Structure 1
Amino acid sequence: MHQALDGFLNPDSCELELLRRLIAALRPADAGDEACNQRYALMLERLEQDAELRAGFRHHVIHFIGSRRLLTFFTDSGILPGTGFFSEWWRILGNRILPEVPDERRMKDCLHLIFDQRDDWRWLEAVPAELSHRFWEILAPPETFREMDRRGVQEQMLDAVLLLAHRVSGLGVEGELMRASPNLDDDSPRFIALSAEALEFVGSFRAGLDGDETRFDKGDQLLVIVAQCQDTLNRIRKRALTIGTSLHLSYLLTRSEQSLRRITELVSILTAGLRSTPHDVAIRDWSTFSRAVFLAENRRHSLSHYLQQLSGVLAVRVTENAARSGEHYICETRADYGRMWRSAAGAGVLIGLMALLKIKAAALQAPLFVEAFMFSMIYGLGFVAIFLLGFTVATKQPAMTAQTLAGLLGDLKPTRSADLDRIADVAAAVSRSQLAAIGGNVMVALPVAILVGFVLSLLFGQPLIGMEKAVHLMADLDPLSWAIPHAAIAGFYLFISGLISGYFDNRAAYASIGPRIARLRWLQRLAGKNRAKRIGSHIEDRLGGIMGNFLFGCMLGSTGMIGTLLGLPLDIRHIAFSSANLGYALTGFEFAIAWQAMLWGALGVALIGLTNLGVSFALALRTAMGARRIEFAHWGPLLAALWRRFRQHPRSFLLPPRPSAENGSA
């Protein structure tokens, strides 16, 4: 690091190369190395103590900044490009294969040459803001700052303000953004006025720089219009949580908000002197701005960061849909508990029949793709039928109820016992609801399979399931086989199906699927206008559930084929189907099976169910908390509250409250 600093004493050295060497010396050897902050602080101490080095360092860095084109640094760094979601996606992927050629004349490109490691933002972010502030204090102390020729930088800042304002004006009247606006007539003029006001501000400020100091504009009116535009975007975001959103709308919102925020930052920096802002405060503002832009530019080629910028509204909207569905899966009263049992029992009957269809389809020994198609249709159409009939599949619950719990965790204040008690109440309700659904599925699917297998065996005069197939079905339940990993795959699919349901619910609302279906002329002629409206509304309300269940079935049905094609041991295990398979295996053995083998198979079913539920719940909870930007750090008090509730009222986790308790709570 000291050798890198010594290079700044040579007035003829290349500034870009000097800065690259300095950053390379400061960069930590690995992500967990905290010594880089010590090296950074040591660098600042040497610059503060060595006047000659400080002067050389300041000369090189200021000349480097002043000799570069800064316009794109101000308008593009940290702001989504105008190319659109998928174009930027492909640009990031393409850059990893064939890197872009930087233009050393532009500051934006030079940052990628100086911070040339893809994860430099990690250690830069870990550098305390106070050290960054000291760095810029060294570069621009009060006595030198007044003597610096800042006109070139100010001119490019003014151009950036104008360009950003024109950009937001264009985005603000974008058709999709305006369609989502709660008040189109009042909102459009704000965006149109932004461009005109920015032009007025830039013209007045330039006149002041040219000598007519009476023309200097502090930008107050411009910032008022910026705030009005931001208010409109905030209301559109809130409305999107109700009417739905899309990737394109999320992209427009994010880009517009970033541009408005950049206008505010640039105006604040430009007018700091006019507002008599203390030098220390002005330098701190610039330090905060430059630090954020450096970090954003270094992450420009990060696909995960790019997706994170856009996931906010869409992810919250998708998980909110799932959360509302999750509320229907929670049994608060005995009546709810009874309905859950009946609903799960109905699903158990259909699952028992679906399992038999799959066994018979597998016996056909059809070509691989044909078999996968048959399995997918059996699963997919069966799950859709279960959904439309109002029945419940136990394993669908965790992906939904996790969203509800995430919403409660976001509002939790661990210092308030009432909040902890509320979480404990919901956790107990979720536990007994889940057990009721599992009981309804398993305790019906198993006897249905035994009954169907036994009756059909009598009708045909031979076992419905052959001995070889029965052995295979029992082997699939062996806890020491691939049963548990395959159950984890099914759990992942359950989580994905919850997101799919939320996405299509969002899409149905955003695209007004119901009213559009109701406008179909052939449907109106066939069913009449009023009935067409009811059909459209019915489909819109259930589109998410239909698509989530159907695609979940397709994922289950095609996994075995994918595993065969890839030569990998891929398959799925689902608790309800496993319990039905256990019943059919018993009929295949004609009930002549050792009780130890029976218990071993039952244990396999239980572990498969636990894995299904655990994987889907954990993934759904993590996703829901990430979508809401919840960083929950109070697991200790929460777990203590849950354990206290379990010790005091263990029955509440298993059974609904007694009638007296219900009346008392009411």
Structure 2
Amino acid sequence: MLPSLFRKWRESRNASLQLDAILTAAEPEAPLAERNSWLIELGYWIRRDGAPGGDDARADKGPRDGSEGEGGVERSLPQHVRLRYLLRVLERNPDWALAFSRTVRSILRDNDPTALFCDTGVASHPGFWGEMMDRLQARFLPPPPNRSDMSSLFALLFVHLDDAEWVESIEAGLVERLTLVLGLADAEEEGEEEAAARRGLERTLAASIQVLVSQVRATGLSQAIRSRLKGRVEETPFFRLDSAAQALFEEDLAHGDEAFGQRINYFRALLDHCHAAAQHVYDELEENGVSVEVVFQIERMKIRLARIELLLGAWSEPGRPGARQHLTAELIRSTQARRSVGHLVSSSFAQLARKVVERSAETGEHYITRDRGEYREMMRGAAGGGLLTVLTVYLKFLIYGLHLDKFIEGLLASLNYAGSFLLIHFAHFTLATKQPAMTGPALAHRLDGARRPEGREIFVDDTIAMIRSNAAAIFGNLAAVFPVALAVQWLSGKLLGVSLLTPAKAIATIESFSILGPTPLYAIFTGVLLWLSSLIAGWADNWFALHRVHDVMAYNRRLRYVLGAKGALGVADFWRRNLSGIAANVSLGLLLGLGPEILSFVGPHMEVRHVTLSTGAVGASIGVLGLDALRMPALWLAVAGIALMGFLNVAVSFALAFNMALRSRNLRSVDRRELSAAVRRRILERPLSLIVPPRRPAAAPDAGGSRA
């Protein structure tokens, strides 16, 4: 029994009654819930797979119309074929047609369309998180059919993604036939009904536009938007929008009057100014930091402005060909978007993602070396970073040698990592694996101009420079950390007779880096943590700019009293220069130290595998074991593991950052295969360019971003 019920439940997703049963059930005097359910069932029949026939043929009591031959059916969408079949059946069965038309008209009369026109597709909550919860509920809890609300009926009637397309593509002849079928009652009575329905629709459209105008005006005059616009409040287009709408919808104003033309042109000009003001707010956010809530408000206002223009066209030009289909299709699209959580997230977070990426791109520019002078500086910085990492390696051995509680160990390891990374940052040294998460956005920034030959050349140049820079940084780190870590342990043993770690610990350390163990998985996990730290850095920089913290600190009364105006400005400048770096290094330290412990507590066991730290640990272990370590197979498995570890650290963090940059800039239309081919050709033509930089940077026009 249960399998049968489950099979029926699955079939009910797209199943429908036969057409004769649906037409027989048409009852204009039935309760609204039954009439709405009847229309929903008809919609499922129109979308039903396969051409009408079989049991449906019982509804067609006359011969087929020769104008709808086999070729015509093949050229039509399946929904159009079924709609023609329905109309043919109704045209040949007057009793069914009369009940059908009266039932449809009663449904249109008794369902209020105001919410459909004003609220469908528009966020109903003032904030992002409330709207997300509402959409999740709408996705899994559809409205009941007994509400006298056209928006609820649309949500139940149009459930397939292609519904808007087939509705909008209905040809004019089919629309005319449908109109005639819906007017099969007495001609004089029908004329009065049509006139009353037309006047009612015009009033509803006008009222809906005025409701939307009041909502746009409220948003545009809110503090979050108003504070980002220039001029006085009464000079903004939002302030004048309401009075312009009232003048346009005066009852004694006919559509053919000259005054009507002037007023509607003025109203449309104000709408254009509102769009321009919204774009100005976006530009201000691009420059001074992005707020998800402000972006959410702007996106909601833009949707309402577009809806006003859509309804205004239907109200001012009701007889325009295709107007009804276009309006219905747009309302269907809005209804389906209203259920989409992904659409809400993408529209609200795209600007924030772009801003975070832009901040990372600015930092990443400094990690790309384009000539031999910059290359030498990179090598020196990487060697310095490797030298300081030696201290981190031995402090890590000390912390884990205490055998403390796991959380305390993770916290102390986090402080060790964060302190080391901050020391490297302020010494202007380089930690190699931090680069890819920053250089990825910088490289994606070049794709803005990659459709032009000169832009493509710049992209290829920067790709080669990025690969060369990352390789130089890794080599510089490892060239310093390995011999110095080994030398520290060797000198400690020879001069002081003290071993900084036991032979058993040294062997276990080497074995833990084997390529045959979980090292590749741990290296991928570490690459994800490196990418997350770059996101945190970009977010912190965006927050600093959005809330104008620099100005807050520079003009803080107590800071100026203690340090003076120049001193307060210096503190503010320091944080503006270094906040991103501090956030990146502190967050990376916390992620590397506490991240594995927290994840292991709630999920699978994970460890950190960082190529520079692991190489230093192997160097220290060889210092304990001496030359005998070279005869250990585990050592060479560890060497292979560290080589793969370095590749995965870099590749994973770079791939995640580059992919996010592509999505934030909406650059997926760029021909990636052509760009990849161009990079491969450059490598084959000049393989040494991956190692040896040019003598001076190549001069090239800007292709989507500065080379700061």
What TM-score results when the alignment is normalised by the length of structure 1? Answer: 0.88
Cα displacement string for residues 466-506 of structure 1 (whole angstroms, at most 9, x for unaligned residues): 12221222122111211111111111122222221111111
- The residue type equivalent to 1:517 in the other structure is M
What CA distance in whole angstroms lies between the structure 1 residues aligned with 2:699 and 2:334?
56
Instruction: Provide structure 1 residue ranges, at least 5 long, that are not aligned to the other structure.
Output: 30-34
Gaps of 5+ in 2: 1-14, 29-33, 50-73, 184-189, 702-708
From the superposition, tell whether residues 626 and 155 of structure 1 become closer, same or farther in structure 2 (CA, over 3 Å). Answer: same
Offset, 1:297: 2.2
Cα distance between partner residues in 2 of 1:499 and 1:134: 55
Q: Decide whether the 8 Å contact of 1:27 with 1:123 is kept in 2.
A: no
Give the CA deviation at 1:570: 1.6
What amino acid is aligned across from residue 12 of structure 1 in structure 2? E
Matched with 1:555 is 591
Structure 1 pair 392–259 and aligned structure 2 pair: CA distance change class (3 A): same
How far did residue 231 of structure 1 move? Answer: 0.7
After TM superposition, list the pairs within 5 Å mapping 1:186-335 onto structure 2.
188-202=235-249, 204=250, 206-208=251-253, 219-273=264-318, 279-283=320-324, 287-335=325-373
Single out whichever of 41-50 and 327-336 deviates more from structure 2.
41-50
Find the counterpart in structure 1 of residue 499 from structure 2: 463
CA contact (8 A) 2:353 2:664 kept: yes
Letter in 2 for 1:44: L
2:605 pairs with one of 550, 563, 569: 569
Amino acid at match of 1:441: N
Deviation (angstroms), 1:60: 4.3
Matching of residue 375 in structure 1 with residue 417 in structure 2: no
| Superposed counterparts of 1:139-538, under 5 Å | 139-140=178-179, 147=194, 149-181=197-229, 183-185=230-232, 188-202=235-249, 204=250, 206-208=251-253, 219-273=264-318, 279-283=320-324, 287-413=325-451, 416-538=452-574
How far 1:223 sits from its partner (Å)?
0.9
Root mean square deviation of aligned Cα: 3.2
CA contact (8 A) 1:514 1:538 kept: no
**Partner Cα separation in structure 2 for residue 173 and residue 242 of structure 1:** 21
In structure 1, what is the Cα distance between the partners aligned to 2:295 and 2:171?
A: 32
d(CA) in 2 for partners of 1:122 and 1:583? 59
Mapped partners of 1:61, 1:477: distance in 2 = 72
Query: Does the 8 Å contact 1:8/1:18 carry over to 2?
Result: no
Query: Separation in 2 of the partners of 1:365 and 1:471?
Result: 18
User: Residue 79 of structure 1 aligns with which residue?
Assistant: 122
Which AA in structure 1 matches 2:221?
Answer: V
Query: Which segment is superposed worse, 649-658 or 97-106?
Result: 97-106
Q: Is the alpha carbon distance of 1:305 and 1:473 closer, same or farther for their aligned partners in structure 2, counting shifts above 3 Å?
A: same
Quote the residue 1:32 is aligned against: none
Distance 1:186 1:652 in 2: 58
**Could you tell me how far apart the structure 1 residues matched to 2:420 and 2:328 are?**
57
CA gap of 1:57–1:325, structure 2 versus 1, over 3 A, is farther
> Quick one: distance in 2 between partners of 1:585 and 1:28?
70
Mean CA deviation greater in 385-394 or 535-544? 385-394
In the TM superposition, what is the alpha-carbon distance from 1:375 to its structure 2 partner?
1.4
How far off is 1:342 after superposition? Answer: 1.4
The 2-side partners of 1:328 and 1:653 are apart by 18
Range moving further from structure 2, 545-554 or 184-193: 184-193
For 2:674 and 2:338, how far apart are their aligned partners in 1? 39
State the 1:310 CA deviation.
Answer: 0.6
Q: 1:126 to 1:196 in 2, by over 3 A?
A: closer
Structure 1 residue 9, shift from structure 2 partner: 5.5
Deviation at 1:25, TM superposition (A): 4.7
Moved more, 20-29 or 291-300: 20-29
String of CA shifts for 1:374-427, please: whole Å, max 9, x gaps.
1111122322232233222222222222212222223322xx443332221111
Correspondence 1:11 to 2:26: yes
Aligned residues of 1:68 and 1:107 also touching (Cα < 8 A): yes
Q: How far off its partner does 1:648 sit?
A: 0.8
Q: What is the SS of the residue equivalent to 1:528?
A: helix
Contact 1:505 1:541 in 2 (8 A): no
> Contact (CA 8 Å) 1:344, 1:393: kept in 2 or not?
yes
CA distance in 1, matches of 2:585, 2:46: 53
Are the structure 2 counterparts of residues 664 and 304 from structure 1 closer, same or farther at C-alpha, using a change threshold of 3 Å? closer
TM-superposed CA distance for 1:19, in Å, is 3.3
Measured in 2, the distance between the counterparts of 1:124 and 1:39 equals 11
Moved more, 602-611 or 459-468: 459-468
Q: Judge conservation of contact 1:449–1:581 (CA < 8 Å) in 2.
A: yes
| Residue aligning to 1:88 | 131
Maintained 8 Å contact 1:54/1:138: no
Moved more, 45-54 or 134-143: 134-143
Q: Which residue of 1 aligns with 2:186?
A: none
Change (3 A) 1:103 1:350: farther
Find 2:637's aligned residue among 570, 575, 600: 600
Looking at structure 2, the residues matched to 125 and 456 of structure 1 have their Cα atoms a distance apart, in angstroms, of 76
Q: Does the 8 Å contact 2:46/2:83 carry over to 1?
A: no
Alignment match, 2:692: 655
Would the alpha carbon gap of residues 227 and 349 (structure 1) be closer, same or farther in structure 2, given more than 3 Å must change?
Answer: same
In 2: Cα distance, 1:307 partner to 1:611 partner: 30
Instruction: Please give the secondary structure, in 2, of the residue aligned with 1:390.
Output: coil
Question: Against the structure 1 CA distance between its residues 564 and 319, is the aligned structure 2 distance closer, same or farther, given a 3 Å change threshold?
Answer: closer
Kept after mapping to 2: 8 A contact 1:490/1:573:
yes
Find the residue that maps to 1:593 and give its secondary structure.
helix
Q: Give distance in 2, aligned partners of 1:158 and 1:522.
A: 56
Rounded to whole Å, the distance in 1 between the matches of 2:477 and 2:428 is 14
**CA offsets, 1:85-127, max 9 Å, x none?**
2222343456678777676211222233334xxxx45444675
**Secondary structure of residue in 2 paired with 1:224:** helix
1:10-52 per-residue CA deviation (whole Å, 9 max, x = no partner) reads 43174422333244456689xxxxx9x9532432342454453
